[in-house]
C-alpha cells in the first residue's frame, strides 16, 4: 500500500525559500561586490579624473581653457575613429583596418585638395574621403556579417591591403593644399576648433543613438547574445554590417580632418619663401643651417617665473631629409624640443615678422628688426634707445665705436620693413636711435605683452633720459623725410599686442612691476 506524501519535496523547498526570503528580506550586496561593480562601470572615469587632477596640480598651464581646447584638438581624429569603433566593439567585433583606411581616404582627399578649387574638385575633396570610408566599412561588413569570417581576421587582412595600396599608389607626401580645404582642420567656430566641434557633435549623436533608440538597443542585444537576438526577430547580419558601415563613415570624417591639418613643405618651398635661390649651393646652405640649429645649445631662464633655473635646449632636436626613388630631396622632417614647441603654441609669445625680414642679410639688422618689432608695435610716438643701451643689449663683440658706426649706416639705408629709423640727440649730446611704425605689414597675435619689458642686461643701462627708465617718455619724433616701404596688412593679424604704451615708474633708478623678457 502506498501512502501519498501531502507535502512533496518541491513544495517544501519552495515554501522554505519563500519563508526565508520573507523573513530575511532581499539580499543586500556586500561592500566588496558593490566596489567591484562600481569600478567595472565607472573605473575609466575615475582614472581620467585622477589624471586631470594630477596634471592640474603639477602643471598650472594645464588648468587654462586654452589647454583644454588644445587637448580636444589633438584627440579629435582619434576620438572620431573611436566613436565608430564603439559600435563594432558593442557587437563583439573589432576593426583593425581603421588606420590604413584613414590613409587611403586622406590620400585621395588631399589629391583633389591640391587642384584648382573648381566645384567638382571641392566636392570630391570633401566627400571622397567619406565615400571611401563607407566603401571600406562595407567591405569589412559584408565579409563579417554574411560570410561569417572572424572580424579579427577580416580587418587584419584589409589593414594590410589598404596599407599596401597607399605605398603602391603614392609614396610621396601631399603638399600645397588649397586654403579653403585647410579651414576644416585649422579653422575655429568662436573659441572652439572645428575638429573639436565635429568630435563633440558626433559623440553626442552616438550617445543618443545608443541610449534612446531601438537601433542602439539592438546593438547591445546582438553583442550580448546574437542567437537570442536572432530568435527575437532581429536581423543580426544586417545589424553587424551596419556597425562596420558606421565605423567606415567615422574613419572618412577623421581622414578629412587629419589631411586638412597637414602642414608640410619641400626644401624648395622653404628656400622660395625665405627669398633664397634654388641652386644646389642654396640647398647645401639650408642643410648647413639646419645642422647649426641642431648643434647650437640655448641656455635661458625665460618663462621661469617662480624660479631662476637655467633651461638648456637646441632649436632642433633632430631633422631628417626624405628622398624619392631617384634620390631627389622630397621633404624635411623637423623635431623641435617640447620647451620650444609649447612656447610656439602660446599666442602671447609669438612675434609675427614681415616676410621681407628674410631678405635682411646682416645679423645686426635682423636683431634690430626683432627689437623694433617687439618694442615699437603701433605706438604713436615709437621708441628710443641710447646707443650704449643697444650695444649692451645686443651682447655684440664689436667695440662700441664700430657698433655705433653700423647703426648709423643702418639708419642711412633704412632696411627695416615697416619701420623708419631716425637719429636724435638728447640735451647732453648723447646719440639716440628712434624708430616708429610706417606702413606696417605685420601685427601681433594673442594676448597683450607684459607692461614692463626687461632690457636684457644685468644692470641698468642709460636709456637717454634721467633717471633710468626702460623706455623714453612719449614725444614726437624728429622730422624726417625718410619713410619705409610696406605691404598691405596681413588679414590674420588684426590686433597688435603692443598697442598700449609701455609705462615706467621711476623710483631711484629702479623699475617697479612685473617683468617680461625681450
Does residue 383 have a pLDDT over 80? no
Q: Which of 39-43, 300-304, 344-348, 460-464 has the lowest mean pLDDT?
A: 460-464
- Across the range 332-357, mean pLDDT stands at 69
CA–CA gap between residue 86 and residue 24 (Å, rounded):
42
Band (pLDDT 50/70/90 cuts) for residue 344 is low
pLDDT-wise least confident of 223-237, 240-254, 271-285: 271-285
Rounded to whole angstroms, the Cα distance separating 492 from 495 reads: 9
Q: What is the mean pLDDT of residues 459-484?
A: 39
Q: How confident is the model at residue 477 (pLDDT cuts 50, 70, 90)?
A: very low
Lowest mean pLDDT among 15-29, 38-52, 143-157, 209-223: 15-29
Q: Which of 129-138, 352-361, 442-451 has the highest mean pLDDT?
A: 129-138
Q: Does residue 69 register a pLDDT over 60? A: yes
Q: What average pLDDT score do residues 395-417 get?
A: 89
Residues 206-233, mean pLDDT to the nearest whole number:
94
**Given this model, what pLDDT does residue 63 score?**
81
What pLDDT score was predicted for residue 301? 67
| pLDDT at residue 249 tops 50 | yes
Higher pLDDT, 87 or 279: 87
For the chain, the first-to-last Cα distance in angstroms comes to 113
SS3 419: strand
With beta carbons less than 8 A apart as the criterion, state whether 466 and 515 touch: no
Write the burial class of residue 472 (CB in 10 Å: 0-12 exposed, 13-18 middle, 19+ buried): buried
pLDDT band at 467 (very low <50, low <70, confident <90, very high): very low
pLDDT (0 to 100) of residue 377: 56
60 or 405, higher pLDDT: 405
Positions of E strands within 281-405? 297-300, 311-314, 318-323, 329-335, 383-386
**Residue with the larger pLDDT of the pair 305 and 423:** 423
Question: Of the ranges 97-111, 179-193, 397-411, which one carries the lowest mean pLDDT score?
Answer: 179-193
Q: Domain ranges for the chain, please list them.
A: 44-260, 267-345, 355-516
The set of cell numbers assigned to 308 is 631662476
Per-residue pLDDT tens digits for 71-120: 888 889 999 999 999 999 999 999 999 999 999 999 899 889 888 888 89
Confidence at residue 204, expressed as pLDDT on a 0 to 100 scale: 96
3-class state of residue 267 by DSSP: helix
Of the two residues 59 and 500, the one the predictor is more confident about is 59
- Higher-scoring residue by pLDDT: 441, 251: 251
| Higher pLDDT, residue 448 or 408 | 408
* DSSP letter, residue 162: H
**Residue 490: pLDDT over 50:** no
Q: Which has more pLDDT, 452 or 287?
A: 287
Average per-residue pLDDT in the chain? 76
pLDDT value for 395: 81
Is residue 135 very low, low, confident or very high in pLDDT (cuts 50, 70, 90)? very high
The pLDDT of residue 14: 45
Closest by alpha carbon to 269, among 174, 175, 170? 175
pLDDT reported for residue 26? 54
For 428-451, what is each residue's pLDDT tens digit?
888 888 888 777 665 544 444 344
User: What confidence score (pLDDT) does residue 497 get?
Assistant: 34
H-run or E-run covering 425? strand 419-425
Amino acid at each position: 500500500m502506498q501512502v501519498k506524501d501531502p507535502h512533496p519535496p518541491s513544495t517544501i523547498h519552495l515554501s522554505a525559500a519563500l519563508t526565508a526570503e520573507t523573513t530575511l528580506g532581499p539580499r543586500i550586496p556586500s561592500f566588496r561586490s558593490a566596489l567591484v561593480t562600481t569600478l567595472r562601470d565607472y573605473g575609466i572615469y575615475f582614472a581620467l579624473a585622477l589624471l586631470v587632477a594630477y596634471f592640474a596640480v603639477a602643471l598650472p598651464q594645464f588648468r587654462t581653457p586654452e589647454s583644454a581646447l588644445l587637448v580636444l584638438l589633438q584627440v579629435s581624429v582619434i576620438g572620431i575613429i573611436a566613436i565608430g569603433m564603439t559600435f563594432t566593439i558593442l557587437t563583439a567585433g573589432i576593426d583593425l583596418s581603421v588606420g590604413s583606411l584613414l590613409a587611403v581616404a586622406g590620400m585621395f582627399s588631399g589629391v583633389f585638395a591640391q587642384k584648382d578649387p573648381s566645384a567638382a574638385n571641392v566636392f570630391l575633396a570633401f566627400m571622397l574621403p567619406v565615400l571611401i570610408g563607407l566603401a571600406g566599412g562595407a567591405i569589412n561588413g559584408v565579409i563579417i556579417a554574411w560570410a561569417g569570417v572572424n572580424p579579427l581576421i577580416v580587418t587584419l587582412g584589409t589593414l594590410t591591403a589598404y596599407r599596401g595600396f597607399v605605398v603602391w599608389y603614392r609614396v610621396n607626401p601631399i603638399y600645397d593644399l588649397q586654403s579653403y580645404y585647410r579651414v576644416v582642420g585649422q579653422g575655429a567656430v568662436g573659441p572652439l576648433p572645428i575638429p573639436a566641434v565635429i568630435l563633440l557633435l558626433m559623440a553626442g549623436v552616438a550617445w543618443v543613438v545608443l541610449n534612446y533608440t531601438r537601433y542602439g538597443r539592438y546593438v547591445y542585444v546582438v553583442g550580448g547574445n546574437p542567437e537570442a537576438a536572432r530568435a527575437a526577430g532581429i536581423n543580426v547580419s544586417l545589424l553587424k554590417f551596419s556597425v562596420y558601415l558606421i565605423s567606415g563613415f567615422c574613419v572618412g570624417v577623421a581622414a578629412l580632418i587629419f589631411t586638412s591639418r597637414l602642414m608640410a613643405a619641400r626644401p624648395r618651398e622653404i628656400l622660395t619663401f625665405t627669398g633664397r635661390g634654388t641652386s644646389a649651393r642654396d640647398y647645401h646652405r639650408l642643410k648647413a643651417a639646419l645642422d647649426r640649429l641642431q648643434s647650437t645649445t640655448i641656455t635661458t631662464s625665460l618663462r621661469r617665473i617662480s624660479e631662476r633655473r637655467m633651461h638648456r635646449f637646441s632649436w632642433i632636436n633632430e631633422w631628417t631629409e626624405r628622398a624619392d626613388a631617384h634620390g631627389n630631396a622630397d621633404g624635411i622632417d623637423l623635431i623641435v624640443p617640447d620647451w620650444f614647441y609649447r612656447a610656439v603654441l602660446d599666442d602671447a609669445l609669438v612675434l609675427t615678422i614681415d616676410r621681407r625680414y628674410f631678405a635682411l642679410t646682416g645679423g645686426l639688422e635682423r636683431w634690430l628688426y626683432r627689437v623694433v618689432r617687439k618694442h615699437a608695435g603701433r605706438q604713436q610716438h615709437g621708441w628710443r634707445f641710447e646707443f650704449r643701451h643697444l650695444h649692451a643689449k645686443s651682447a655684440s663683440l664689436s667695440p662700441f665705436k664700430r657698433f655705433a658706426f653700423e647703426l648709423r649706416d643702418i639708419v642711412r639705408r633704412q632696411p627695416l620693413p615697416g619701420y623708419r629709423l631716425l637719429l636724435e640727440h638728447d640735451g647732453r649730446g648723447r646719440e639716440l636711435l628712434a624708430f616708429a611704425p610706417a606702413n606696417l605689414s605685420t601685427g601681433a597675435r594673442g594676448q597683450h605683452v607684459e607692461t614692463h619689458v626687461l632690457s636684457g642686461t644685468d644692470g641698468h643701462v642709460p636709456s637717454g633720459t634721467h633717471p633710468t627708465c626702460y623706455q623714453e617718455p612719449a614725444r614726437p619724433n624728429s622730422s624726417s623725410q625718410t619713410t619705409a616701404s610696406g605691404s598691405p596688412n596681413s588679414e590674420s593679424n588684426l590686433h597688435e599686442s603692443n598697442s598700449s604704451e609701455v609705462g615706467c615708474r621711476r623710483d631711484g633708478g629702479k623699475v617697479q612691476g612685473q617683468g617680461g623678457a625681450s
